[in-house]
Amino acid sequence: MRILYILPRYDSAAMGNRIHTEVIHAWRESGITAEVLSLAANQAQPTRTVEDDIVVHRLPSRGTFVTQVVNRVVNPLFSYPYLASAIVGLRRFLATTPPFDLCHIETAFPLGVAALFAGRYAPPLAVTLPGADVMAEPEYDYGYARFRAVRALLPLVFRRALVIRADSPQIRELAIVRGAPASKVTAIPYNITEDSFPPADMPLSEMRARSRAIIATRHGLDPERPIIVSLNRLHPFKGIAYLVEAVPTIRAAGLAPQVVIVGPNRSTPRFGDYGEFLRRRAQALGVAADVIFTGAIPHHDARTYLAGADVAVVPSVAESFSRVVIEACAVGTPPVVTRTTGASAYVAAAQAGIVVEPRSGPAIGEAIVSLLKDRAVWQAYSARAAALAPQFSSQRIATELADLYRNALRSKAFPETVATGR
């Protein structure tokens, strides 16, 4: 099988893109070849490179002068600045490139829409839904589906798709609400990278102790006090304000928490500078001394922060999956995660952490207290968390995707044989 793997952006060294690199490498072991196609800003012409032993094609985001004009015209409808150039660039690429057996496309919008307009040049589409394309959270400035024009196009993409991969059961249900045929949608989560797991030559307890010492020294923390970590970009839909609002509940239980908020800052129309919003909230609650903002960190440090924590909190208002939840599990840190975060379904089934209702600081605080008040309880959750994480290895997820794609192509080629079992 030959697959074109289409992404909005691709950098083999970037934290978010390593998951794709590992899947493509795992596919190769089973005889599947894949080439990457992505958009690139500040690039005037299409390029072809080989990175990490993968062929990578990049199309200029801005496109020609004409597509730039069209981009500006349609941007108010879709809130995506490169839709016209993505459509034109992808159509030209597919028309002039030897055909692929399948397109793995990350996002129904914008890339699924671009493939839709590629028409007869596009091979069968396997659309992955990472969440932002089908979610609508206008109160938190999040989700393309909050725009009417996107909602109108999504059913057309779903109808054109051969198969649809949702990254959690929650997104599968939302895709069906948005017009996807239930028979096409399969929930397969995202993988976590190999370096999310503890090193093979070091006991987990030793790794956790070393990690705790590193972050305590780096940020002037007291290693004897509880360390609670949030690791995500600072965007309103991530619900980090509710973690800040959990601190009084934790204090009232007699604990002295240190909340470490890790991630790059974002600004949105409704909230403005979200980092500043969080700082003001901490000050208003009188907990600013207990809340530490680190800003963005290198990818290789993520495991250290998660392993050095007593609890990892993912308080998202709505999120399709959240790899951070599973990355925390991989290093034995129990997560507290909102029910509206896709990974919560897997955590709940494995009893690997505590699932809480969204938009509630007290609920988050009570969950953290229940983990930290009893060491035996914490240890049981930690062990179950570590046991859950291998289910999300790159090899395992790559195999699930490969099986899904092979079966979908087989059913397309031999529908009667598949239907009757002959």
Same domain, 41 and 154: yes
Mean pLDDT, the chain, rounded, equals: 93
Residues facing 127 on adjacent strands: 105, 164
Q: How confident is the model at residue 6 (pLDDT cuts 50, 70, 90)?
A: very high
Same domain, 364 and 415: no
The residue among 196, 140, 193 whose CA lies nearest residue 396 is 193
Same domain, 78 and 117: yes
Question: How much is the pTM?
Answer: 0.92
Distance separating alpha carbons of residues 210 and 140, to the nearest angstrom: 37
Which pLDDT score is estimated for 414? 60
Same domain, 151 and 9: yes
Distance separating alpha carbons of residues 297 and 305, to the nearest angstrom: 10
Distance separating alpha carbons of residues 9 and 16, to the nearest angstrom: 10
The residue among 184, 37, 179, 174 whose CA lies nearest residue 106 is 37
Residue-wise pLDDT for 312-341, tens only, equals 999 999 999 999 999 999 999 999 999 999
Residue 338 has φ and ψ, to the nearest 5°, of -75, 150
Same domain, 144 and 7: yes
Residue 289 has what DSSP assignment?
Answer: G
Q: Identify each DSSP E strand in 197-341 by its residue range.
A: 227-231, 258-262, 267-268, 272-273, 291-295, 311-314, 335-338
Residue 100 has what DSSP assignment?
Answer: P
Same domain, 11 and 93: yes
* Cis peptide preceding 98, ω within 30 of 0: no
Distance separating alpha carbons of residues 194 and 332, to the nearest angstrom: 15
How confident is the model over 352-359, as a mean pLDDT? 97
Q: Is the pLDDT of residue 14 over 80?
A: no
- Position of tokens 């004009």? 69
How confident is the model over 229-247, as a mean pLDDT? 96
Which pLDDT score is estimated for 402? 97
Same domain, 183 and 200: no
Which pLDDT score is estimated for 73? 87
Q: Is the pLDDT of residue 418 over 50?
A: no
Q: How confident is the model at residue 15 (pLDDT cuts 50, 70, 90)?
A: low
Which pLDDT score is estimated for 382? 98
Distance separating alpha carbons of residues 254 and 257, to the nearest angstrom: 9
Residue-wise pLDDT for 170-184, tens only, equals 999 999 999 999 999
Provide the domain count of the chain: 2
- Domain of 80, CATH number, reads 3.40.50.2000
How confident is the model over 75-92, as a mean pLDDT? 90
Q: How confident is the model at residue 74 (pLDDT cuts 50, 70, 90)?
A: confident
Same domain, 46 and 150: yes
Q: Is the pLDDT of residue 396 over 80?
A: yes
Same domain, 246 and 354: yes
Which pLDDT score is estimated for 13? 57
Which pLDDT score is estimated for 42? 79
Residue-wise pLDDT for 115-164, tens only, equals 999 888 999 999 999 989 999 999 998 999 999 999 999 999 999 999 99
| Rg of the chain, C-alpha, whole Å | 22
Same domain, 83 and 180: yes
Same domain, 150 and 226: no
For residue 405, the enclosing domain spans 2-191+394-420
The tokens describing 327, both together, are: 């990355």
Same domain, 346 and 405: no
Which pLDDT score is estimated for 225? 98
pLDDT: which is higher, 79 or 283: 283
H helices, E strands: number in the chain: 17, 16
Distance separating alpha carbons of residues 230 and 337, to the nearest angstrom: 11
Q: Identify each DSSP E strand in 339-392 by its residue range.
A: 354-356
Residue-wise pLDDT for 278-321, tens only, equals 999 999 999 999 999 999 998 889 999 999 999 999 999 999 99
